A and B are shown apart, each in its own frame.
Chain A
């Protein structure tokens, strides 16, 4: 990895242009660059081509991992891409953002005798990058069924569902509240994982199959009612994610310098000039998930001098993967465990520090207070599902999210759902894709059964 540009004794408080535009660009280049042809060959040769492979079992979308690696090994990356994308149309994004160390790579049998798995994620990226950039068309729609399906939300779940339904001959309309598709791929993931506008390129690839109409700026409940959608389509799929950032109930929560991580990342991902983003000199992040890691790392890359993540529980409980934690630490982010915010210190309505109180189990017991100086604090304590007007129809929910059956069907007939907005998932892109896939098959069965 290239060393990142940093600067010390910069301007205190919140300031833009801590680093030059060029330094920022360099900091936000791909942090896990793609394999070259030779490295891919060498790495592919390490695959044992296991029978009934555990990596395939570990993949939520069931990609034939040994199969595609063998194709790379025989200089057939296009065949490999076909195998990957047939199971996971967002195989390109997943190769960049999947926590492979807890999925396929964790299960690689190479861990048993040498503690070094085949780098499946990098190989998957090697296979898919070229195919997607060339626009290789592996998929052909069957003849049109005359049925239409509405998909709410153009994130990984919605797009995966739309793609599969389109292949099966149905006309799909995707309703997206924002001005661009992609959901978290476009607005949420760390910028250095999704370089070169990959989210949009992948979506262009997905929608090129045909039969998918995209409608932007349409918010269900405002611009169109749920009832209208139900009337206009033969089935609906909901993949709206989690729209509401959780709030932190704390005194002075509205003083300048208190930021919502999700909103900040969203702005960052859409920024044309990263160096123009105002960032604190001393930044504290509250939370322990991927968003916490992503905002902390990106704050460093924007030039924040001190970045500390504070999480109320221990490392094992952090939802951010170990690899991501290590990455953040490598670029200078500090991670502190077993402490929760108690009070924000403000002067002239500007943040100056945060008082934390240790939680149970930490040495010295709970309740010991300490203060971290900070001019910017990011809340990254999770998001919640926001339901929309359902015109008298009420969705069953579990733990605040939509309840679905194993076919991803909601409690409302003719309505399926998937991705982060349903209960029981792990809030991963790869799981959202699988939800979309399963729902699409189920919707297809529903549509064909109904009309035959």
Chain B
């Protein structure tokens, strides 16, 4: 087995799989169970300032988008930060860290946007022996109405300011957790870096409304007849999170800024995606809330086998491996040509490729035959768009064949293999020659 030991901004953990700040990390009981199950680290659920604890709703806090077999595609939640007394949380954190010295333990924080409030809580967290703090600038519901969470994360200047306070008043590593509810994720990431953040973590949840109850025609779920927008997470948000993580990873202004990735990580394959696109570790919530902490077994085993199969000896070797393959549209090779191919032996004649192409795309798949149908690619129409591949239910039935030194029947032009992107294309009036 490959050693999965991770060192994230000086925080060591036996593997790069952490539990995100969320209900599963709200108290010692859960966190102890998580560590027993094998989780490498935990970000303790967000603490607020001292005083009367937060009040949560006692109606539904979660909504779910289900697949047909009730598999969870996405969760939405309206739970606020911890509603337990600060003192109790700090005592438990102290004890847990003492009991589990080899695991990562980071404390998530959210207090009002003034320096004194941050200073006060940072000093108390430092006393617990925790490994670091994560600044919750992401929560999109409830707390944001009070000027915290996403209300801070959406203003890069505030992000930088609060990060600076935290670096001033604490010696602990500072992770800034970003909200995805913003048009350009690079802006708050750069601000965090400017403020001295040791790392960023993302994404927090996405603003969302789950559905309408078709019986009552009211929002669903409801708290006594009314509902509110919540934060969306789970497998459904993974592509959005991957984009944001990789966008920061390849931003020159964020160079050297470590990333802890969050957003729909359910298994080791998802973790590979995020780490290859620039994250150093991953944080998990929805998958654990769906299946329990035991899912980490497969994550550890799968990641280890994967690294071994790739000839890698540590997770670090995987970090950012796919980042160089990500570019802007304008640098894509416009001379690269593929054509769909249908494996007639595997084809079940369901016709989905045909009707998708015929109705909605390029009329590049013909159908012939009575009874037994035969679906064939019309190369003179095929633009290589991948739609047929995407809708084909049979794995491996449709493949995309790269044209090499042959004439593209659609354009009549020979595919030479020469690279030419949009910036060089004759149709581009702005091209640079």
Contact = CB atoms under 8 A, between A and B. Distances in A.
Given A57-B371, A109-B350, A51 B355 contact: yes
A48 B350 contact: yes
A74 to B, nearest CB: 11
Interface stretch (A38-46, A221-229, A288-296): A38-46
A54 interface: yes
Contacts of B226: none
B367 interface: yes
Given A44-B68, A73-B68, A113-B394, A52 B352 contact: no
A196 interface: no
A54 B349 contact: yes
A49 B350 CA distance: 8
B69 A48 contact: no
Contacts of B348: 48, 109-110, 112-113
A110 B393 CA distance: 10
Q: How large is the interface on B (under 10, 10 to 19, 20 to 34, 35 or more residues)?
A: 10 to 19
Main secondary structure of the interface of B (DSSP, over half): loop
Q: Which of A44, A73, A109 has the most CB of B within 10 A?
A: A109
A26 to B, nearest CB: 31
Contacts of B371: 54, 57
B68 A45 contact: yes
Contact of A109 (B68, B70, B349, B367): B349
B238 interface: no
Given A52-B367, A52-B373, A113-B394, A41 B352 contact: no
B396 to A, nearest CB: 10
B68 A48 contact: no
Contacts of B69: 41-42, 45
Contacts of B394: 112-113
Interface string A22-45: 000000000000000010011011
Interface in B16-73: 67-70
Nearest to B351: A51
Interface in A48-62: 48-54, 57
B354 interface: yes
Contacts of A44: 68
Contact of B351 (A41, A42, A50): A50
B352 A48 contact: yes
A42 B367 CA distance: 30
Interface in B307-332: none
Contacts of A54: 349, 371, 373
Interface string A168-194: 000000000000000000000000000
Given A42-B68, A73-B68, A49 B352 contact: yes
Interface string B63-96: 0000111100000000000000000000000000
Contacts of B355: 51
Nearest to B69: A42
Contacts of A52: 351, 367, 373
A111 to B, nearest CB: 8
Interface string A76-95: 00000000000000000000
Task: Specify the main secondary structure of chain A where it touches its partner.
Answer: helix
A45 B67 CA distance: 9
Interface string A112-138: 110000000000000000000000000
B303 to A, nearest CB: 30
Interface in B351-372: 351-352, 354-355, 367, 371
Interface string A133-162: 000000000000000000000000000000
Given A57-B371, A113-B394, A50 B350 contact: yes
A50 B352 contact: yes
Contacts of B393: 48, 113
A162 B349 CA distance: 37
A113 B351 CA distance: 15
B350 A51 contact: yes
Contacts of A45: 67-69
Nearest to A57: B371
B355 to A, nearest CB: 4
A113 B393 CA distance: 10
B366 to A, nearest CB: 12
Interface centre among B68, B70, B352 (most CB of A within 10 A): B68
Nearest to B66: A41
A41 B349 contact: no
B413 to A, nearest CB: 32
A382 B355 CA distance: 46
Contacts of B68: 41-42, 44-45, 73
Interface in B150-168: none
A51 B348 CA distance: 12
B66 to A, nearest CB: 10
Interface string B123-164: 000000000000000000000000000000000000000000
B372 to A, nearest CB: 9
A44 B393 CA distance: 15
Nearest to B370: A57
Nearest to B67: A45
Interface in B337-390: 346, 348-352, 354-355, 367, 371, 373
11 contacts: A38-B70, A42-B68, A45-B67, A48-B348, A48-B393, A50-B352, A51-B350, A51-B354, A51-B355, A112-B394, A113-B394
Interface of B: 67-70, 346, 348-352, 354-355, 367, 371, 373, 393-394
Given A51-B367, A113-B348, 9 more contacts: A44-B68, A45-B67, A50-B350, A51-B355, A52-B351, A52-B373, A54-B371, A54-B373, A113-B393
Closest 9 CB pairs of A and B: A51-B351, A45-B68, A109-B348, A51-B355, A112-B348, A50-B350, A48-B350, A109-B350, A42-B69
